[in-house]
Amino acid sequence: MRWQTLSQAKWILLVLAVLTVAAWMLSGWAALVPAAMIVFTLYFFRDPDRTIPGELGLLVSPADGLVTDIGEMEEKEVTGERMLRVGIFLSVFDVHVNRAPATGRVVYTAEHPGNYHDARSPMASTHNAARTWAFDCDGTILVVRQITGAIARRIVPWALLGDRLARGEHFGMIRFGSRTEIFVPPGTEISVKIGQHVKGGSTVLGRLAAGGGSGNQERAKETVVA
């Protein structure tokens, strides 16, 4: 378990610890509830080691969760081009750390205020609070969106603009149930299916087509924001 991840729970654990002690003074049985919540919090903020595939051209999943949709659509924020989108729903039982899908440099990151619809709702993609990231992976632009849900209301960014991340390296997390979307160039060979459970950093999401996506590089560079 990485301390960077666990530190996001420090205030939750402190409050639950105080409640556990107070409840214990009244009744040992009463202390079981906050104690169980401490165990669940530690479970939720876990960050297990993952075996990162090393083969060139592979993309790994940016998140743990259930693949809910795969389809082509216009990515309006960064590239302005049609791209393949893979949507992943993260339940409260999934690891909520987000990982870079490929080795590349962070060329765009922007936070967007919004609502907190259920992350499984079609409205979550367009109406919920979110943060968008773009990675320049040797000329191919990959876009990842962290989207909040009805319970998950805080996105924690760890990477900074200009950082170069290795495939599978952490760049942030979403606290509690949420959604992660990845946009990849058309022609990318997608390896996952709707309904499949994936693991961030280790599940192969797909394989980039040779030379795919280089045409959207210049626009991404022009729209870099902090």
Catalytic-residue membership of 125: no
Phi, psi of 214 (to 5 degrees): -70, -20
The amino acid at 90: L
Q: Which of 97, 60, 82, 89 is nearest to 183 (CA)?
A: 82
Secondary structure (3-state) at 38:
helix
Catalytically annotated residue among 7, 121, 178, 202? 178
Which residues in the chain belong to E strands, given as ranges? 58-60, 65-75, 81-90, 97-99, 104-112, 130-137, 140-147, 154-157, 164-165, 170-175, 178-184, 189-190, 197-198, 204-207
Secondary structure (DSSP) of 66-91:
EEEEEEEEEETTTT-EEEEEEEEEE-
Phi, psi of 6 (to 5 degrees): -65, -30
Q: Give the C-alpha separation, 180 to 175, whole Å.
A: 12
Write out the catalytic residue numbers: 178
